């Protein structure tokens, strides 16, 4: 298991925890339907906040008083309540790039900053298919390891984030990320109206010139019971936001699946697993679709 070799990630406001133990086993498969729906409701479609309190207790990393207070109110201990992940069903993605646009609109990004980038791929018979690529939220993220000033960190809910008020812009993380998931602010950042949150790793709006940005799994929205912009806007329901702890995933239409079963049933794969990054984004491939799994470079 890689978790033991993983270096601890410094988190400013919370005692360090190891996330690996929290990754759920898929043992509680015999869930009752009612129970299941209760949990699904918690994730809900954009803004629909059901009453189970799963999401309110989320993301204790947020320095913001609201979420920290919420976490305390629901008695969340040092054990993180969630382990976020994403499922991308390539069978349904039609390459419309609504996800990219929604993300850019929400985070005030320039057109070249495609935190969710939709790649056009070619299959054996010469036809094209589409591969959306957010940040993989690697369990063993090389981007975190190479940063000289600890501007990258991983929360114990499995979110890899960038502290843009720390980043000095060496771009060695852009070199280290095997998924090309990092985007730099090469010039003045796109201006944004006054935000409800201060500029922070969970809500890096507006971006900071001269620093690196990337998909953040919409970290600031998760505690409010909202699923990420890309997921909630995908017209094809190709994207699912998932939680490994509660073992559920939900898409734009509010369809909820039991994560472990859904992944198993559809032979979900991870991208470039041979790199040892342990991504937390799962891809479901259709007939004749493939991911590049180059056996390392070297």
Partner 1 sequence: MMREQVDAMETGTSTTMTSRTLEKSIGTAYDGVDPVPPREDIREAAMRPVLETGKWWWTAVITLGVVVIAGIVAWVMQLRDGLGAAGYNNQAFWAIYEADLVAFIGVTYGGAVVSAVLRLSKARWRAPLTRIAEATALVTLPIGMMFIVPHLGEAPRIWELVWPPYWNLSSPILWDFFAVSTYLLATVVFFYLPLIPDLKITLERLSAGPDNLKTRTCKKLYTVVGGNWIGSIPQRRVLQGALGLISIMIIPMAVSVHSVLSFAFSSSSRAGYLETIFPVLFVVGALYSGVALVIVMAAAFRKGYRLERYITEKHFVRLGFILIALGATYLYLTFTEYLVDGYSGTIGNAAWVRQTIMGRYWIPFWFFVVGAGLLPLVILAFRRTRNVKGIATASAIILLAMWVKRLVIVIPPATEPLVKSPLNVASANWGTFHFTWIPITITLAATAAIPLLLLVVFKFFPILPVADMEEMAAEAEGLEEDLSTLSVMASTGNSPSGDRKEIMHANA
Q: Which stretch binds partner 1 (CB under 8 A): 45-53, 90-98, 165-173, 248-256?
A: 165-173
Please spell the DSSP secondary structure of 24-87, one letter per residue: PPS-TT---HHHHHHHHHHH-STT---TT-TTTT--TT--SHHHHHHHHHTT--SS-S--EEEE
SS3 203: strand
For residue 103, the partner it binds in partner 1, ligand SF4, none, with Cβ less than 5 to 8 A by kind, is ligand SF4
Q: Which residue in 133, 154, 258, 270 binds partner 1 (CB under 8 A)?
A: 133
CA-wise closest residue to 94 among 225, 239, 266: 239
Largest CA distance in the chain: 56
Residue placing its CB nearer to partner 1 in the complex, 140 or 237: 140
Per-residue binding letters, 76-115, with partner 1 (x by CB under 8 A): ------------------------------------xx--
Residue found under tokens 């600890």: 150
Q: How far is CA 37 from CA 94, 151, 258, in A?
A: 29, 39, 10
For residue 43, the partner it binds in ligand SF4, partner 1, none, with Cβ less than 5 to 8 A by kind, is none
| CB of residue 190 to partner 1, shortest distance in Å | 13
Residue placing its CB nearer to partner 1 in the complex, 13 or 175: 175
Rounded to whole angstroms, the Cα distance separating 120 from 160 reads 26
Phi, psi of 106 (to 5 degrees): -65, -35
| CB of residue 209 to ligand SF4, shortest distance in Å | 19
Question: How is residue 224 annotated by DSSP?
Answer: G
Residue placing its CB nearer to ligand SF4 in the complex, 72 or 195: 195
Please spell the DSSP secondary structure of 105-122, one letter per residue: HHHT--TT--SSEEEEEE
Q: Which stretch binds partner 1 (CB under 8 A): 35-43, 79-87, 97-105, 285-293?
A: 285-293
Can residue 26 be called a binding residue for partner 1 (CB under 8 A)? Answer: no
For residue 112, the partner it binds in ligand SF4, partner 1, none, with Cβ less than 5 to 8 A by kind, is partner 1
Which residues would be at the binding site for ligand SF4 (CB under 6 A)? 93-99, 103, 115-116, 118, 130, 132, 134-138, 141-143, 160, 177, 179, 181-182, 214-218, 228-230, 234, 236, 238-239, 277
Per-residue binding letters, 220-239, with partner 1 (x by CB under 8 A): --------------------
The tally of CA atoms less than 13 A away on the side-chain side of residue 28 is 14
């Amino acid at each position: 298991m890689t978790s033991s070799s993983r270096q601890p990630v410094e988190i400013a406001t919370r005692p360090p925890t190891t996330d690996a133990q929290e990754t759920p086993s898929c043992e509680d498969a015999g869930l009752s339907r009612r129970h299941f729906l209760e949990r699904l409701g918690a994730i809900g479609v954009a803004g629909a906040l059901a009453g189970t309190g799963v999401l309110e207790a989320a993301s204790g990393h947020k320095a913001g008083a609201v979420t920290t207070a919420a976490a305390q109110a629901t008695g969340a201990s040092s054990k993180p309540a969630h382990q976020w992940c994403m499922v991308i069903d390539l069978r349904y993605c039609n390459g419309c790039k609504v996800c990219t646009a929604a993300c850019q609109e929400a985070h005030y990004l320039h057109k070249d900053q495609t935190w969710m980038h939709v790649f056009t791929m070619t299959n054996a018979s010469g036809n094209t298919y589409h591969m959306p690529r957010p940040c993989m939220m690697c369990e063993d993220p090389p981007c975190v390891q190479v940063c000289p000033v600890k501007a990258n960190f991983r929360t114990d809910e499995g979110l890899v984030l960038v502290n843009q008020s720390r980043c000095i812009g060496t771009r060695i993380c852009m070199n280290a990320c095997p998924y090309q998931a990092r985007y730099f602010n090469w010039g003045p950042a796109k201006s944004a109206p006054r935000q409800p949150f201060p500029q922070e790793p969970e809500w890096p709006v507006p971006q900071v010139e001269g620093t690196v940005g990337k998909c953040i799994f919409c970290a600031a929205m998760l505690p409010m019971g909202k699923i990420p912009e890309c997921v909630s806007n995908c017209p094809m329901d190709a994207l699912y936001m998932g939680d490994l702890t509660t073992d559920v995933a939900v898409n734009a239409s509010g369809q909820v699946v039991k994560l472990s079963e859904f992944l198993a049933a559809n032979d979900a794969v991870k991208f470039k697993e041979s790199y040892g990054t342990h991504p937390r984004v799962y891809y479901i491939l259709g007939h004749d679709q493939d991911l590049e799994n180059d056996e390392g470079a070297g």
